[in-house]
Structure 1
Amino acid sequence: MQGPAQDLADGLAVGGRGAGVGWALKGTGTDARFRGLAAVSRSTAWVSGSRGTVLRTVDGGRSWQNVSPPGAQDLQLRDIEAFDARRAVALSIGEGEDSRIFRTEDGGATWTEAFRNPDPRAFYDCLTFFDARHGLAMSDPVDGKFRILSTRDGGRSWDVLPNTGMPAALPGEAGFAASGQCLVSSGPRDVWLATGGGAVARVMHSRDRGLTWTVKDAAVPGGDPAKGVFGLAFRGGRGLAVGGDYRTGEPSPQAAARTADAGRTWRPSTAPPAAYRSGVTWLPFPQPAALTVGPTGTDVTLDGGKTWRPLDEGSFDTVDCTGADHDRLADAACWAAGELGRVGRLEVR
């Protein structure tokens, strides 16, 4: 490793809250709540959230451009995926026509509405991309099964996939649009979907870009509309699930789990975060280190999710790091975003 990635690895090895590394807040000039986040590099990141707000920085957070889609001020943009400083796709959530997908190719100067949900029974929660062309979005169950949208042209057009390969949903089961991480991908074809609200929390896995799925219990407590898996992160077959009970003050024991076989089996963390967590991401270096965030703070694992320890007390809803690409480690970075316009970049203290 080299540069920022090595600095982060060294800092996290120090251990203990307040030691080594922490979040450096980057003033955004807004009080919007950001649950959508795309980390492109140390200099470039996109955030999306309440009141149809989309911000972009290309100077490491020193300044932010308001590049919100025109006419979206009544929408909740809960997920955003960005390919670089110019190309991004954003999802708004809600019943019926409130669920929409927007796309830009010029850094947010102009946006195209690529999809508007025509079905009042559908409620889209998250989206993910395998590469710059192929992506999926997911809706809460319609006719007893989760609904999947697919694009093959970078988000310009979207089609509903057949549901014949999708397992039946449990009564009350749905996705949580809390961090843009209820649907995540790794590699060219694998994708995972997180659920909650049913009798058990589950994770579904597809190896063929959403055509057929398997499902497993996630080892995170369910059994209540406020409980389940809120965020997933995968790197190859190694995966993390975080969640709990999102209600303020409610306990969230065993709010994290891990898998080493692409989700065929899940094990609860032996030392999980102490409270509900909504977002999770692998750190941008090959070691099995990751971050998870929630309203009460940030936790870090250095052993692939087996044990977690507190890193920071500040509130965030979502977190994202650049990938562990050896050719780009010098530009590696982790970003977090949340309520009241809070955005931070992980830095050595």
Structure 2
Amino acid sequence: MAAGSRAGGVGWAVKATGTDARFRGLAAVNRSTAWVSGSKGTVLRTADGGRSWQNVSPPGAQGLELRDIEAFDARRAVALSIGEGEDSRIFRTEDAGATWTESFRNPDPRAFYDCLTFFDARHGLAMSDPVDGRFRILSTRDGGRSWNVLPNDGMPTALAGEAGFAASGQCLVSSGPRDVWLATGGGAVARVMHSGDRGLTWTVTDAPVPGGDPAKGVFGLAFRGGRGLAVGGDYRTGQPSPQAAATTADTGRTWRPSSAPPAAYRSGVAWLPFLPPAALTVGPTGTDITLDGGRTWWPLGDEGSFDTVDCTDTACWAAGEKGRVGRLEVR
């Protein structure tokens, strides 16, 4: 059966953004409003479904990589820049990007922050690659105005070479008021960590996706309650990525490889809002869709390259290289 017919004739309608920035950060608010963040310190915002975009980049951020952004609505958003030491920063806006406040600048040269997530408009976390052998977790209780490093007593020891991938803003994701998951790669095996108490204590499980190499691991996670999806593989161009997707039905205690995974590396994944067992995954070579909770994936036509995808109750958006942003449309 053709992918288009299986997917009900849906695909990406690419929206002109007027920039060549690469967008790995994406926050979908609804069909009209979305935020994207990426290279050269760029943040764009649309409030008309992508017909026009405002450049609302934080002043002075031109040299930063803004790899993740989380938005609470059309006016409030929090963006994370990645990198060693002071390159890892967090910015916050309450006026649709007209002004920004830098609420965190990493003082530790050993830390490298990759992703952030919010449970609600007040409580959120950011994660750094391991420091002193354990992933570091940063916490906010006031919507990103202030941040504190959590104790690492409840964090499992990292594997040699293990880290997170700042590829899609989805190496740290949350679902519900307290559950959060952290995706890893670069170590002997790819792993997924889970916390049920907002990052204080964690359990860890091996994920059946490619590992054992600095370029391999889990790059993106998506959860809906206890049901989760993991995607990844080998991000190097032209390298094979067999078994680059997995599923869980028990909050990540156990993972199963997809029986028909995407044919290549994927960096972003999101559950579709209007069809409970359906989800999308994206990467440099295209988009795939599942209609059975991630067990089998099918190419969604010739949709081009995207790095990340995010869905709300009413819409799905994707973003990637050369300023590409798309909204899912019925064709």
- Please classify the TM superposition score into its range, dividing by the shorter chain length: over 0.9
CA RMSD of aligned residues (A): 1.2
Aligned residue number for residue 213 of structure 1: 202
Q: Is the 8 A contact 1:23 1:312 kept in 2?
A: no
Deviation at residue 312 of structure 1 after TM alignment: 3.4
> CA offsets per residue over residues 170-196 of structure 1, 9 Å max, x none?
000000000000000000000000000
Aligned residue number for residue 231 of structure 2: 242
Deviation at residue 285 of structure 1 after TM alignment: 2.2
Q: 1:334 aligns with which of 274, 294, 316?
A: 316
CA separation in 2, counterparts of 1:46 and 1:303? 29
CA separation in 1, counterparts of 2:226 and 2:4? 24
Residue identity matched to 1:344: G
- Tell me if 1:15 matches 2:24: no
Q: 1:318 aligns with which of 308, 316, 322?
A: 308
Aligned residue number for residue 35 of structure 1: 24
Unaligned 5+ segments in structure 1 are 1-11, 324-331
Residue identity matched to 2:66: L
Q: Is the 8 A contact 2:41 2:65 kept in 1?
A: yes
- Tell me if 1:199 matches 2:172: no
Deviation at residue 286 of structure 1 after TM alignment: 4.9
- Tell me if 1:343 matches 2:307: no
Residue identity matched to 1:321: C
Q: Which residues of 2 match residues 3-152 of structure 1 at below 5 A?
A: 14-15=5-6, 20-152=9-141
Aligned residue number for residue 261 of structure 1: 250
- Tell me if 1:306 matches 2:295: yes
CA separation in 1, counterparts of 2:233 and 2:223? 19
CA separation in 1, counterparts of 2:84 and 2:57? 21
Deviation at residue 14 of structure 1 after TM alignment: 2.5
SS state at 1:90 partner: strand
Q: Is the 8 A contact 2:4 2:10 kept in 1?
A: no
CA separation in 2, counterparts of 1:256 and 1:287? 18
Aligned residue number for residue 278 of structure 1: 267
Deviation at residue 287 of structure 1 after TM alignment: 1.7
Aligned residue number for residue 292 of structure 1: 281
Aligned residue number for residue 153 of structure 1: 142
Aligned residue number for residue 328 of structure 1: none
Residue identity matched to 2:26: L
Q: 1:150 to 1:105 in 2, by over 3 A?
A: same
Give the TM-score taking structure 1 as reference length: 0.93
SS state at 1:97 partner: helix
Q: Is the 8 A contact 2:4 2:301 kept in 1?
A: no
Deviation at residue 153 of structure 1 after TM alignment: 0.1
> CA offsets per residue over residues 86-112 of structure 1, 9 Å max, x none?
000000000000000000000000000
SS state at 1:14 partner: helix
Residue identity matched to 1:317: D
Q: Is the 8 A contact 2:245 2:262 kept in 1?
A: yes
CA separation in 2, counterparts of 1:194 and 1:171? 15
Unaligned 5+ segments in structure 2 are none
Which stretches of structure 1, 4 residues or longer, exceed 6 Å deviation after superposition?
A: none
Deviation at residue 13 of structure 1 after TM alignment: 8.0
- Tell me if 1:230 matches 2:219: yes
